[in-house]
Amino acid sequence: MSARDEILARVRDAVADVTTPPRAAETPTTEGAGAAGPAAGPAAGPARDATLELFAENVADYRATVLRATGEEVPAVLADVLAGLECRSLVVPSGLDPSWLSRLPDAVVRVPESEATSHGQLDDVDAVVTTATVGIAVTGTIVLDHAAGQGRRELTLVPDIHVCVVADRDVVPHVSDAVTRLRPSPGSARPLTWISGPSATSDIELQRVEGVHGPRTLVVVLVSEPTSKEGPGDAVPTRGGGH
């Protein structure tokens, strides 16, 4: 008997006492236990504000930096952030809104994703700017599905600085909302990277150290709808240090 057939026979035999049929795989459960809360969505209102506030707070709690901006402010905010981090080069994912990098000084080298073909090349680049697919308020998590604007997985892994622009309409309250949104479609599943703060370890006497292998600096720019009534002005950094 092949290993496959033998293992399947063994496990069938082992649960011969069980008479209930398998639960129907076709009925997706959308609600998550312990995760009741306001519905996700762009609807404005106090619940929405609280969700965004919680998201910003929880991201900052991981010692990532959180900035809030309107759509028009994004190019200026990115230029500021990257200058502050002394970034001299960055890799640009295909599909990223080109206007976002329009305020960067010419001296900053931009490497298009299609030209960053080796790991070593990525290792020489200081930073990457991406979007995200979803943000989760209750855990302060951003999730990348590596579609247009987010780059292949290694783009957000090898460079030491990751600046992630999250549209506030993509922030959902709960883990269950994100899991529902991210369910892979058959035949075209995307890889997913869930990021909650910069890389960290507590392996040495349980003292938390930010930054082992992933980007040691994570900056999240939370962007309100382009139609927002908020006037232009300086982005307001919320709490959280970063580097």
Partner 1 sequence: MSPDPAHDRTVGRGAGQAAYPPVQVTSPTFVGMPKFPKAARAELANAQQRRNLRHATHTIRDKRAHVVAEVDDWEALRVKGADAKDEALTHLADYLERLEESLTANGAVVHWARDAAEANRIVVDIVRAKEVDEVVKVKSMVTQEIELNEALEAAGVSAWETDLAELIVQLGHDRPSHILVPAIHRNRKEIRDIFLREMGAVGRPAPDDLTDDPARLAEAARLHLREKFLRAKVGISGANFAVADSGTLVVVESEGNGRMCLTLPETLISVVGIEKVLPTWDDLTTMLQLLPRSSTGERMNPYTTMWTGVHEGDGPQEVHVVLLDNGRSHVLADRVGRQALRCIRCSACLNVCPVYERTGGHAYGSVYPGPIGAVLNPQLRGTTSDIDRSLPYASSLCGACFDACPVRINIPELLVELRGKVVEESGPTPESTAMKAAAWVLSDPRRLATAQKAATIAGRLAGGRTIRSVPGLGAWTNARDLPTPPRETFRQWWVREHGNEDA
Residue 48's identity, in one-letter code, is: R
Considering only 42, 119, 148, 241, the residue that binds partner 1 (CB under 8 A) is: 119
# residues contacting partner 1 (CB under 8 A):
79
The CB-of-153 to partner 1 minimum distance in angstroms stands at 5
The CB-of-6 to partner 1 minimum distance in angstroms stands at 6
Secondary structure of residue 181 in the 3-state scheme: helix
Candidate ranges 44-52, 163-171, 197-205, 226-234; the one touching partner 1 (CB under 8 A): 197-205
CA nearest neighbour of 121 among 100, 146, 152, 148: 152
The CB-of-242 to partner 1 minimum distance in angstroms stands at 15
Considering only 49, 153, 232, 239, the residue that binds partner 1 (CB under 8 A) is: 153
Label each residue of 53-117 as H, E or C: HHHHHHHHHCCCEEEEECHHHHHHHHHHHHHHCCCCEEEECCCCCHHHHCCCCCCCEEEEHHHCC
Q: Which is nearer to partner 1, 184 or 226 (CB)?
A: 184
Cβ 182 vs Cβ 134: under 8 Å: yes
**CA 173 – CA 40 distance, rounded (Å):** 6
Candidate ranges 14-22, 45-53, 100-108, 228-236; the one touching partner 1 (CB under 8 A): 14-22
The CB-of-85 to partner 1 minimum distance in angstroms stands at 18
Query: 219: which DSSP letter?
Result: E
- 28 to 57, contacts with partner 1 by CB under 8 A? 28-30, 32-36
191 touches partner 1 (CB under 8 A): yes
The CB-of-38 to partner 1 minimum distance in angstroms stands at 13
**CA 183 – CA 152 distance, rounded (Å):** 19
Other beta carbons less than 10 A from residue 179's beta carbon: 16
120 touches partner 1 (CB under 8 A): yes
203 touches partner 1 (CB under 8 A): yes
Cβ 198 vs Cβ 59: under 8 Å: no
Candidate ranges 126-134, 208-216, 225-233, 234-242; the one touching partner 1 (CB under 8 A): 208-216
- 55 to 94, contacts with partner 1 by CB under 8 A? 58, 61-62
Cβ 65 vs Cβ 237: under 8 Å: yes
130 touches partner 1 (CB under 8 A): no
Strand pairing report for 141-144 and 134-136:
antiparallel
Considering only 42, 148, 189, 239, the residue that binds partner 1 (CB under 8 A) is: 189
Handedness of CA 135, 190, 194, 156 (dihedral sign): negative
